Structures are given as C-alpha cells and as structure tokens.
A and B are shown apart, each in its own frame.
Chain A
C-alpha cells in the first residue's frame, strides 16, 4: 500500500530542492518602476536642496571645509578626532568600525563645514587611536589666512614606512 501523502511529498520536496541558485529574472512591476522614478526625482530634489543649503549657510566667501583621509592606515587604528579653530572645539568624532573601514578603503570623510571671517586662523586637530605597538594621541596644526576663497583642508593620516609609524598632517587644498 502506498501512502497517499508520499507522492505529494516527493513533489513538495523536489520542487524547492531543484530550484536554481541564481534567480533567473525579476519581472519589472509597475510599482518597481514607480519607486525607481520617485527615487530619481527625490535624489534630484535632494541635490538642489543641498546646493541651496550650502549657498545659504556656507557661502564660498566664508566657507571652511575640513576632510579626513587615511593613506593605508596599517600603523594606526583611528578612535577619535577633535578639531579646533582658534582654540575653540568645532567638531569631534568617535569612529565606528564601519567608518574606519570606509576610510581605510579610500573613503574621505567631510568632518566639518563652517564659516570663517577673513584673516589669520589657527586650525588644530587631535587624533587618538591605536598602533601595533602603542596607543597614539597626536596633534597637527596649521595657520591659514582666510580671504574671499573657500578654505579646504584635509586631515591626513599617513603611514610613514621609513619610521614605521603613522604621521598626522594637515594639507590645505588650493581652490
């Protein structure tokens, strides 16, 4: 006697088992098209809003932007950065694994965007983190003269292969 469930069961087991690993196709639905179209227009709107916001809050004549990058970063695991302008703390960041991995892979973080009056200013950055042999707490400083052009600075964490340790520097970009 063959149990009636048996044939049914074989089919039920075989169908999922014999599905391909790579799904063959995704039939585009109406809603998928609607969602993609909405994404495009929201992203365009977002772009326009960002441009307006920057013009409004950080006009080029007073703008100062500070970025963080890591070149290799094998001698330094970044924990935190503090940024001061004229001895006043303007930005600080505690880095997650995700953020440091993104920096390690070549990403650049925009740490600070603000405004500065024309004239001379001192920008200081303080880096804390761990190296293969020791913990680090280092600073870097630069004095800049702000004119009508925006100021763009890059806080760079660079491996010094000669010294086998990290080097921290601030680079001013010519705009």
Chain B
C-alpha cells in the first residue's frame, strides 16, 4: 500500500519530478553556467525550499540566471509547488506557456503540471483541457501518470463504465497500473458492481511483483488490500466460500491482516460455521487492541461462543471485553487531555527525521519504552507521515485515518511552513538591530572624523591665511597712503638705503663735532636719491604684485569656506548612510508586521489542527462506548437468559 495519498505529498512528488526532468538524477551535471542556479538546486535537493526560492528571487532581482535556458523557470515553478505556493507556480507555468517559442518538451511539462494543479483543486474540466495539450512526445513516465489521472477524472465524473480491462493499456500506465486497477475496482464496488470490481482487483492481484524491495513491499500491500476488498465484495454478494478463499490470501503480517481475519470470521459465521469463525477471531483477539478490527473481535468472539452454545465462555469474553474497552476509553480520554495545541506545535516544529530514523523511532518496541510515537519526516516529501503504529503515546492507530486525510495533511504542512517562516523572521530581527547599530556607529565615526578634519586642518589653515591677509592688507594700506617706495623695494636697495640713512646720522654727528662734511653730505644725498629713484621705478609693479598675492589669499579663503560648507552638508545628511538607515527602518517594521501575522496564523492553524485531532479521538471514543454498551447489554442478556432457564 502506498504510504500516503495526500494531494500535497503528490505536489511535492511533482516538484521533484520537475527537477528530475530538468537535471536527471541518474546523470549528474557536467557544468554550471550560473552558480546561483546551482546554489538554488543545492538548497532544493535538501528540501530547504525557502533558501532555494530566496536564491532564485535574489538572482531575478539582479540580472537573472544566465545560461540555463528554461530550467530556472521550471525550477522556480517546482520549488513553489514544493513550498505550497500553488498560485505562484501556476503563474510561472502560465508565463512559460505564453511564449510560443519555447521548446515542445518545456511546453509539455508546463501543460502537464498546470493540469495537475487544476486536478488537485478539483477543476476537472481545466485539468482535462491542460492534459489534452500535452503532446505524444512527452516523457513516457510522466505520460503514464497523466493517463492515470485522466482515468481518475473519469471515475470522479462517473464516466468509467466503458473502461474495461481489455481497453486499458497497462503498458502505457506503467507503474501506475496497479493503482488505476485498484481505483477502478473500488469505484465499481462503491457502485455495487461487485463482479466488475472483482475483475479489476483480480487483475491487480495477478500483476508480477517487482524486484525493487521498496516497490515490492508497496505492491504486496496493495495486493493485500485488493484481496481484502474482493473478500468483502464476495461477502456482500453472500458468496462466503469465495470470500474466505480471498481472505486467506492476505499476508498475516501485513497491514490488512486484521480486516481479513475479521472478514474471514464473519464469512464463516454467515455459513454457520462458528468453530471456523473462532480461529481467526481468537488470533485477532491476541493482537493489539488499538486496531478497530481487534476491538470488533472483542464482541465477535463471544457472539460465536453464544452461537456454539458456550454461554459461560461468552459471558467471560463479554466481561473481559467490558474491562478492556473501559481501559481503552480511558486511554483515549487521557490522549484528548494531553494532546494540546502546544504539543502538536512542538511535534510539527521538531527536527524532521529521515525515513530510516523515523522507522527506528516509530518501531513498536520504542513506543513501549515511552519514546515519541509521532515524528515529522523529511524523506523527500516532507510530509507528516506516520506508519501504522506511529501516533502519539502509542495510541497511534486512532489518528492514522485522520493523518491520512488531505485536510489534515494540508493543515500540518501549512503549520510547518508557518513555523519556518516564523523562525526566518525571528532570525532577522536581531540581525537588523545589529545592522542598525552598525550603521549608526559608522555614521558617528564619520561625523567625528569630519569634525576633526574641520577643526584641525581646514580651520587652522583658514585662521592662518586670514591673519596673513590682514597683515598684508594693513601694510599695503600704509605704503599706499605714505607713498613709501622703499617699503616695497628689493632687499639690496633697502639694505643700501639703510646704510645711507646710517651714514647721514654719522654726518650729523661729525658736523656737530666741527668737522667738514659738505662732500660727504653731497655724496650721501646723491646715493640716497639714486636708491629712492630705483625704488620708485619698481614701486608700481611691486604694489601690483602685493595686491595679486592678496587676491590669491582671498581665493584660498573662499575655497576653504566652500569646503567647510560641503563638510557641514555631508555631516548633516550623511549622504549614503541615511538612505540605508531609512531602508532598514522600513524593513524592520515589515518584519515585525509579518511576524505578527505569522503568529496569528500559527495560533489559528494549530487551533484547527487540535480540533481535528480531538474530533477524531472523540469519534473513536464514541465507537468504543458503543462497543461497551453492546458488551453490557450482551452480559445482561446472557445473565437474564440464564436466570430464566433456572427453575424457580
């Protein structure tokens, strides 16, 4: 029997097929044209769908993935499906199909997956239309799956009457043929056409068992299910011997053995062979009471004793049943009390186990040791998948039926994905705080540096230049007003003029001492005049040079002022940091808002899940209470009969 029949699991298989069809598993890649495409695949192959999608989305925002043709789009569609984003996947496939130039193989794949999307939503017409667009060149293994789905649509539409074994091409259906035969057989049986049902079930039972150990196990289970179903259909037709014949074909260690044993007993009872009924029912009684067929045998066995006239054994068996059923009911009540929303969240949010690890954890011996009896697996489908003994606190069978339902699987997957989103958002919050701190620190450092620059360098230079300018301006003003030619004369002229002035002072002293200085005076006057004449000649050019220097200082001061203003502007706005900080702030708000939404949805989904689990357990409790009431009545009836038989 297949382990899971849920639609979402089916989707993930589909997504895996998308990837496999693009990058065949058996033939590893030989080149990578774009590393980001490879990184997306790396995450996808590890079922890390968020990381895979993030890689593709970041690549898309930049320059896209180059060199892999249509593959990245198909991968994006496949990963979106794997992450339960059906609408997004649909948009991707539709986009691929809008381009008529795409290769036929890509178009076929897109039509096929689009058809499956419609199929899972129950839009049969759209699904059939999409499947009809797939060409005959499409990959045979996927084509086989599509044929199986098309037959399912016909079953759903009650349009399968003309589908007979001789007009179904089992070869075309490939590995899907056993499931198709079973579905057709079950459809006929549901409609009461047991003869037609038996033909399909028998065909299934006769299919050669494959060599692959895993597939072989599945096929055996499927055949067991077929034999059991044929048996019950014979039972419905009152063909009891034929029913017993089919029930005996079911393997005693298979998951359908309990139903077959119970059916065997009822077929024997129907033929009034009560001794014959005791054998399977006694065997059934020795099995775990968790299974409904075993619970049923608690009442069936004393019923057979009664029919055999063994009233004492019957009373004992009914009383034992009362005790066992009461204990079982209490266990279910305990489960209902302990299986809270919190426990479900812990289970679903726990680290997924591989199929092998899950098998170890869920083995019956482990359950008796008090080990966890429900796990989340990550064997490629990422579904909450539980085997027949795997539900919480060893009472798993009660929840198996519920866990196999689409609604439950969907709710579990939604919740698991929400928990992953919650972790993702929670992880961003401290990082964003740290990045904000980093930016603020960077901004602070920059401001300090700018201030230091302004204070120590530009400011000092400005002050020095301003002092220099003031001195020159003052000097020029004095020179200009007093026409002091010598002030602007060259060094040599000024030095000579100083010596002439010193000579004139000496002449004054000599004259006072009564010496004759007339010649010296004449010569000094002449030399002084020459020097003044030389200085006067150069004065205009030197004055202009000084004024030019003053203008240069003014220009430098203006440049310094401009630089200072620019620095002040940068300090005020922090050109690149401020926009990043603003962007960060917006993202921080978004993260908090999304986290709040996620928390709310988690609370809502876990509540729904808890309700489903509780309803299922309540139904089991009700059924066991019904058995218990039957047992009470039977005991009372037998005692009453015994009393009536006794002489007064």
Contacts and interface: CB of A to CB of B under 8 A. Distances in A.
Given A31-B601, A53-B431, A22 B179 contact: yes
A36 B149 contact: no
Contacts of B421: 38-39, 42
A169 to B, nearest CB: 14
Nearest to B9: A23
Contacts of B325: none
B424 interface: yes
Contacts of B645: none
A23 B435 CA distance: 48
B119 A25 contact: yes
Q: Which 5 A-B pairs have the closest CB atoms?
A: A108-B38, A107-B42, A25-B122, A106-B29, A102-B45
A38 B435 CA distance: 25
A71 B122 CA distance: 42
A29 B414 CA distance: 11
B303 A3 contact: yes
B583 A39 contact: no
A107 B43 contact: yes
A56 B581 CA distance: 11
A134 interface: no
Contacts of B58: 47, 50-51
Given A38-B421, A106-B32, A106-B38, A17 B228 contact: yes
Contacts of A55: 580
Interface stretch (B161-169, B258-266, B329-337, B496-504): B258-266
Interface stretch (A5-13, A77-85, A86-94, A117-125): A5-13
Interface residues of B, number: 100
Contacts of A24: 122, 152, 156
Given A106-B41, A108-B32, A35 B601 contact: yes
27 contacts: A5-B300, A6-B269, A13-B232, A13-B259, A13-B263, A17-B232, A18-B190, A18-B229, A20-B182, A22-B152, A22-B179, A26-B122, A26-B406, A27-B122, A31-B608, A32-B410, A35-B605, A45-B590, A46-B57, A51-B61, A71-B31, A102-B43, A102-B46, A105-B41, A106-B23, A107-B44, A109-B39
Nearest to A28: B121
B38 to A, nearest CB: 3
A69 B28 CA distance: 11
A34 B601 contact: yes
B506 interface: no
A106 B72 CA distance: 13
Contacts of A69: 32, 35, 38
A103 interface: yes
B425 interface: yes
Chain B contact residues: helix, strand, loop or mixed? helix
A109 B187 CA distance: 49
Interface residues of A, number: 68
A152 interface: yes
B160 to A, nearest CB: 12
Given A31-B608, A46-B428, A104-B28, 14 more contacts: A3-B303, A5-B296, A14-B232, A20-B5, A20-B186, A25-B121, A26-B8, A26-B121, A32-B410, A35-B418, A39-B421, A47-B58, A70-B28, A105-B23
B294 to A, nearest CB: 13
Contact of B85 (A1, A36, A48, A101): A36
Contacts of B182: 20-21
A52 B583 contact: yes
Nearest to A107: B42
B594 interface: yes
Contact of B417 (A19, A35, A109): A35
B84 A39 contact: yes
Contacts of B207: none
Contacts of B465: none
A70 to B, nearest CB: 8
B537 interface: no
Contacts of B262: 9, 13
A41 B87 CA distance: 13
A35 B7 CA distance: 17
A5 B10 contact: no
Contacts of B179: 21-22
A109 B44 CA distance: 11
Nearest to A19: B186
A71 B31 CA distance: 7
